[in-house]
């Protein structure tokens, strides 16, 4: 079983305002402070690394899923390819799906697909729903993004 580092996207890895990713003139996300150096230092401590992200704007038709996935891929390249994979939830709160944080679906899906030891893994996020989802999935450690990245 492998130990994973799970990371939220908006507000954790990249800047978000009012539920939207802030992008530069080329449409690429703006990184939160210290992300490249902290991730470079911490990533080797884990076997795998994943993005787990609610993306309700997809379900509302405000952004294409392909564009969100392009941003994830861009971030992966920009940071030196630390991410093994990623999951996103395009649903709304009222859809009551199993993947939307605070539900554990994205974590459980990745764990099943990659043989992850959830109890030995860590999730970093910026919201209470991140903590609750990690706990519901059995992820052993939750670290607030502000502590992990030293904001």
* pLDDT tens per residue, range 2-48: 999 999 999 999 999 988 999 999 999 999 999 999 999 999 999 99
Q: Could you tell me the pTM of the whole model? A: 0.96
Average of per-residue pLDDT across 64-85: 97
Average pLDDT value over all residues in the chain = 96
Grouping H, G, I as helix, E, B as strand and the rest as coil, residue 47 is coil
Domains in the chain with CATH codes: 4-148 (3.40.50.1000)
Report whether 112 contacts 118 (CB < 8 A).
no
Across the chain, the runs of DSSP E, i.e. the strands, are 4-7, 16-17, 20-21, 48-54, 85-89, 122-125, 141-144
pLDDT of residue 1: 86
């Amino acid at each position: 079983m492998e130990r994973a580092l799970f990371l939220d996207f908006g507000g954790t890895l990249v800047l978000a305002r009012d539920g939207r990713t802030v992008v530069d003139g080329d449409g690429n996300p703006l990184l939160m402070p210290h992300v490249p150096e902290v991730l470079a230092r911490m990533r080797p401590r884990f076997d795998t690394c994943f993005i787990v992200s609610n993306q309700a704007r997809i379900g509302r038709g405000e952004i294409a899923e392909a564009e969100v996935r392009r941003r994830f891929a861009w971030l992966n390249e920009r940071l030196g390819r630390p991410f093994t994979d990623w999951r996103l939830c395009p649903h709304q709160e009222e859809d009551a799906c199993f993947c939307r944080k605070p539900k554990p679906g994205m974590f459980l899906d990745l764990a099943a697909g990659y043989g992850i030891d959830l109890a030995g893994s860590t999730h970093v996020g910026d919201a209470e729903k991140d903590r609750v989802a990690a706990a519901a999935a059995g992820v052993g450690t939750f670290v607030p993004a502000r502590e992990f990245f030293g904001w």
